[in-house]
């Protein structure tokens, strides 16, 4: 069983890794063709709507609700009963989604025909009309993926997101050979239609996987079935929890468009760079910790939970503190290296705006990763309400901070204020959860943890200083590092990172900061 689990984990990790790499390629091409233009910002805001519904009706919430019920039905009642349940859930979900899409498209069409809108809203609405139907396809894809996962078929679901990036990249590459004179608005509409096509492709490739399992879902309106009600009952709290953060994410995009026409694009480019290390380290560690915490909670062993949490926090901060400071001090070189390519629309001003957002987002690596450690503890204690309740309050705090910074900060820093607001709200969220958690499982040893964190911060500050000085040192060496172009940028960034890591490692040794992962496997 453990060998099978490791194999499945490897497959999922490979699919996720390929998707993230292609996603970065996609964003580089988006930067090349659109920069931080109004067209790119309007697209980013419009695309947040399908992603909002994907989080609400698909992926995590649906999987958490459907997989346990479907697994129990398959094992207890057989494949035919499972087939009926799949048909019932698919029919209900499909009709709800089609109704939402139809009403949304109708409302947008009427708004465009009869309303008078400013340039920013007028840029968003046509794109939203194209992208809204993608909601139906991607949510149905998420449903199929949940079904396949429940039958221990992980390869197809893991690689399904790759199809979106492949189609997206193909459309972007065709823009290079498209007819001259196309406006950014016309080009971004081609991208939107490409995403809709990608939704059809993603759903189509699920069918063979379902058929191989003997699942041929049919229309079924028997929604009063107890198992369907159980799925809906389980899905409600999960969707609420997911929805809080996604509503927050959506509001950030809308407020960014209000702040400046380039702000959503700059924020999106910065977010991609922040969430890369977060996804590689914090998300993976949080996934591993949930079953560990669950076993310890089941044995009523709060001391072991505290020890595991402390060790996990210490090890994660060893990575995230220097990563956060590194992104802050190297924000502009990293942004230029990744996004700024000769002949593209991502110009020097786009680089400056994105780098500012990245510098203010970077400290979020610390609090975002801490959140991913705290929440599994509450889930292990079978408390899903507390994170949702605290999260709802943080949405209100984030909104207040967003509006405050938009109204008070200079125009070219307003979007950076939005990034800072997200970090501050997330930090407050973590403090509230940590206080409540200490009441649940006892003293967490914050004095000891804080001492270790301060020493780690001291080592990371030395690393940051060295990374800032590295470009000047490398220029004295001459050669490619002192030249121009991508090779010089690459050598400069990699050189700064290497020098910073060497200094960081030396300071960790001097300060006697070590790490150990033994408790995580207990």
The pLDDT tens digits for 91-142 are: 888 898 899 999 999 999 999 998 888 889 999 999 999 999 999 999 888 8
Mean local confidence (pLDDT), 439-447: 77
Per-residue pLDDT for 442 more than 50?
yes
Here the tokens at position 435 are 């206080």
Convert the pLDDT of each residue in 1-16 to its tens digit.
345 545 655 666 677 7
Closest CA to 388 of 235, 242, 232, 251: 242
Closest CA to 509 of 468, 462, 477, 474: 462
pLDDT band at 294 (very low <50, low <70, confident <90, very high): low
Helices (H) then strands (E): counts for the chain: 20, 0
Q: How far apart are CA 100 and CA 121, in angstroms?
A: 21
Higher-confidence residue of 251 and 329: namely: 329
Residues 406/414, Cβ–Cβ less than 8 Å = yes
DSSP category for residue 299: T
Is 12 in contact with 287 (CB distance < 8 Å)? no
Highest mean pLDDT, choosing among 225-234, 269-278, 291-300, 383-392: 269-278
Which carries the bigger pLDDT value, residue 519 or residue 407?
A: 407
**What single string gives the DSSP state of each residue in 473-514?**
HHHHH-GGGGS-SHHHHHHHHHHHHHHHHHHHHHHHHHTT--
User: What would the mean pLDDT of 409-432 be, rounded to a whole number?
Assistant: 92
Where residue 200 falls among pLDDT bands split at 50, 70, 90?
very high
Which residues, other chains included, contact 318 with Cβ-Cβ below 8 Å and sequence gap of 6+?
Answer: 456, 508, 513, 515
Range picked from 6-10, 206-210, 221-225, 465-469 for highest mean pLDDT: 465-469
Q: Which pTM does this prediction carry?
A: 0.82
Whether pLDDT at 296 is above 90:
no
pLDDT attached to residue 122: 92
Mean pLDDT across 441-468: 84
pLDDT, tens only, 301-339: 678 878 878 888 887 888 889 999 999 999 999 999 999
Residue 473 predicted with pLDDT over 90: no
Residue pLDDT, tens place only, 31-56: 999 999 999 999 999 998 888 887 76
What is the pLDDT at residue 13? 64
pLDDT confidence band for 475 (50 / 70 / 90): low
Of 169 and 59, which is predicted with more confidence? 169
Structure tokens belonging to residue 141: 């894809």
How far apart CA 202 and CA 93 sit, in angstroms, is 17
What pLDDT, on a 0 to 100 scale, did the predictor assign at position 517? 38
Mean pLDDT, the chain, integer? 82
User: Which pLDDT does position 325 carry in this prediction?
Assistant: 93
| Poorest-pLDDT segment among 43-57, 265-279, 291-305, 376-390 | 291-305
**CB–CB of 58/142 below 8 Å?**
yes
- Inform me whether the pLDDT recorded for 479 exceeds 60: no
pLDDT at 471: 76
* Cα-to-chain-centroid distance, residue 209: 27
CB 112 within 8 A of CB 125: yes
Residue 520: per-residue pLDDT: 39
DSSP classification of residue 346: -
Range with lowest mean pLDDT among 77-81, 142-146, 485-489 = 77-81
The predicted structure's pLDDT at residue 521: 39
In this model, does residue 271 exceed pLDDT 70? yes
Would you state the pLDDT for residue 285? 60
- 149: pLDDT strictly greater than 50: yes
Residue-level pLDDT at 1: 39
pLDDT for position 282 = 59
Q: What was the pLDDT predicted at 14?
A: 74
Contacts of 270 (CB under 8 A, 6+ apart): 335, 354, 355, 357, 358, 361, 419
The average pLDDT across 343-350 equals 89
pLDDT of 226 higher than 70:
yes
Where residue 62 falls among pLDDT bands split at 50, 70, 90?
low
Q: Which two tokens stand for residue 47?
A: 């695309």
> Does position 519 have pLDDT exceeding 50, yes or no?
no
């Amino acid at each position: 069983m453990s060998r099978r689990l490791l194999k499945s984990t490897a497959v999922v990790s490979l699919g996720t890794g390929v998707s993230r790499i292609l996603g970065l390629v996609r964003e580089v091409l988006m930067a090349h063709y659109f920069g931080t233009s109004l067209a790119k910002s309007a697209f980013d805001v419009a695309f947040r709507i399908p992603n909002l519904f994907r989080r609400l009706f698909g992926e995590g919430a649906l999987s958490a609700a459907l997989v346990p019920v479907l697994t129990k039905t398959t094992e207890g009642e057989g494949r035919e009963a499972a087939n009926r349940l799949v048909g019932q859930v698919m029919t209900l979900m499909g009709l709800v989604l089609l109704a939402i899409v139809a009403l949304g498209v109708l409302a947008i069409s009427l708004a465009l025909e009869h309303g008078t809108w400013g340039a920013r809203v007028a840029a968003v609405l046509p794109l939203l009309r194209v992208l809204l139907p993608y909601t139906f396809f991607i949510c149905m894809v998420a449903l199929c993926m949940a079904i396949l996962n429940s039958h221990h078929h992980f390869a197809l679901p893991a690689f399904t997101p790759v199809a979106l990036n492949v189609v997206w990249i193909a459309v972007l590459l065709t823009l290079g050979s498209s007819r001259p004179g196309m406006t950014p608005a016309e080009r971004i509409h081609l991208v939107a239609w490409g995403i809709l096509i990608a939704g059809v492709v993603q759903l189509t490739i699920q069918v063979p996987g379902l058929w191989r399992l003997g699942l041929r879902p049919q229309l079924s309106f028997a929604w009063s079935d107890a198992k369907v009600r159980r799925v809906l009952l389980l899905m409600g709290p999960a969707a609420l929890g997911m929805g809080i953060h996604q509503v927050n994410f959506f509001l950030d995009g809308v407020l960014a468009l209000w702040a400046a026409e380039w702000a959503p694009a700059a924020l999106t480019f910065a977010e991609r760079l922040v969430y890369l290390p977060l996804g590689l380290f914090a998300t993976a560690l949080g996934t591993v910790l949930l079953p560990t915490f669950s076993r310890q909670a089941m044995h009523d062993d709060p001391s072991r939970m505290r020890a595991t949490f402390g060790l996990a926090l210490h090890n994660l901060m060893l990575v995230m503190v220097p990563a956060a400071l590194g992104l802050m001090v190297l924000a502009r070189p990293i942004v230029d290296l990744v996004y700024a390519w000769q002949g593209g629309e991502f110009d020097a001003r786009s680089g400056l705006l994105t780098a500012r957002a990245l510098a203010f987002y970077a400290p979020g690596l610390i609090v975002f990763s801490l959140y991913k450690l705290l929440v599994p503890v509450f889930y292990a204690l079978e408390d899903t309400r507390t994170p949702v309740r605290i999260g709802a309050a943080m949405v209100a705090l984030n909104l207040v901070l967003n509006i405050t910074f938009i109204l008070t900060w200079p125009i070219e820093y307003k979007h950076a204020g939005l990034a800072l607001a997200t970090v501050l709200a997330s930090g407050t969220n973590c403090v509230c959860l940590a206080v409540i958690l200490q009441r649940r499982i006892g003293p967490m040893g914050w004095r000891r943890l804080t001492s270790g964190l301060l020493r780690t911060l001291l080592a990371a500050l030395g690393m940051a200083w060295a990374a800032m000085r590295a470009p000047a040192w490398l220029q004295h060496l001459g050669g490619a590092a002192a030249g121009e172009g991508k090779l010089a940028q690459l050598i400069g960034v990699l050189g700064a990172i290497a020098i910073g890591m060497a200094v960081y490692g030396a300071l960790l040794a001097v300060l006697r900061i070590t790490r150990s992962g033994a408790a995580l496997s207990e």
